Amino acid sequence: MQTRQLGKTGPVVSTLGLGAMGMSGMYGPSDRAESLATLDAALEAGITLIDTGDFYGMGHNEMLIGEALKGGKRDKAILSVKFGAQRDPGAGWIGFDGRPAAVKTSLAYTLQRLGVDHIDIYRPARLDPNVPIEDTVGAIAEMVQAGFVRHIGLSEVGVETIRKAHAVHPIVDLQIEYALITRGVEDKILPVLRELGIGMTAYGVLSRGLISGHWDKGQGKAQGDFRAYSPRFQGDNVDKNLALVEALRAIAAAKGVSVAQIAIAWVAAQGDDIVPLVGARTRARLAESLGALDVTLSADELAAIERAVPRDAAAGTRYAEAQMAHLDSER
């Protein structure tokens, strides 16, 4: 397994990370046994970076990963955990809590659910508009000093917030959506990350399956599936976006790789400071994603991909309007 360091001060992790969110219902029902088998296969393949959130399935995801790490496997994993998103019993999203006391309480529950004594990278899932980021990061920094956290990361925040947080404690990485059809980070955020020596963990590299090459319009109808109300999967938008996928498929076919593999390889090719997170829920999809590590893209191929999927060609925003309003990274 190839490795990359997260920023100047972060841990060395596998070039490809595994995002476990989809194993806890965010994309409809998942199979518990297959989820555990996929986590085990990822660790055996050398994937070290495992990403979760305490609000994925309201603790379900953390407990699932905790089970997968039993039997002496904890040392194989670099655990990245997001916290702070508030949900109601009906799974509705009702805000974010970044207060210092909430930070420490969330961490205590996370350690218990995962069955570990420390978290490798702990990060607020969003910016709390009512709490200075300095206070939130300062609370995590206290947990670093106490030994419960190793490193601090951020998620979906903009350049001003990044600078403020980094001034309080070194930030090792920003987790943010980045894909062929999601490239807003390139304008201001990525240059600042590189200026400060902060890495990026890129989620949504397959745009929640949309550019995986496996998606069709009949999917994503299950209750609880994020894609049932995601703008890019609705109406005329999905037709326009799937046309981009077909253009990408032609390039992938000519190279003898899958659409998913070329999309993942494109993200990985954007810099050694970027680690793609794949959301594989099955061993088959994991194996396909791992194959992307063997795909090297030439300058001509990168140019062809850019022509096939031009920047800003995607139809629809990456989240619904209400959720977009909560993204500090979009301001």
Closest by CA position to 260, among listed 319, 30, 251: 251
Count of beta carbons in the 10 Å neighbourhood of residue 86? 14
152: β partners: 122, 171
Q: How far is CA 238 from the centre of its chain?
A: 22
56 is catalytic: yes
Distance CA 25, CA 273 (A): 30
Burial status of residue 68 (CB atoms within 10 A of its CB: 0-12, 13-18, 19 or more): buried
Residue 113 · residue 79 · CB < 8 Å: no
- Choice among 27, 56, 122, 203 that is catalytic: 56
Helices (H), 85-132: 100-114
Total residues found in the chain within this entry: 331
Residues noted as catalytic: 56
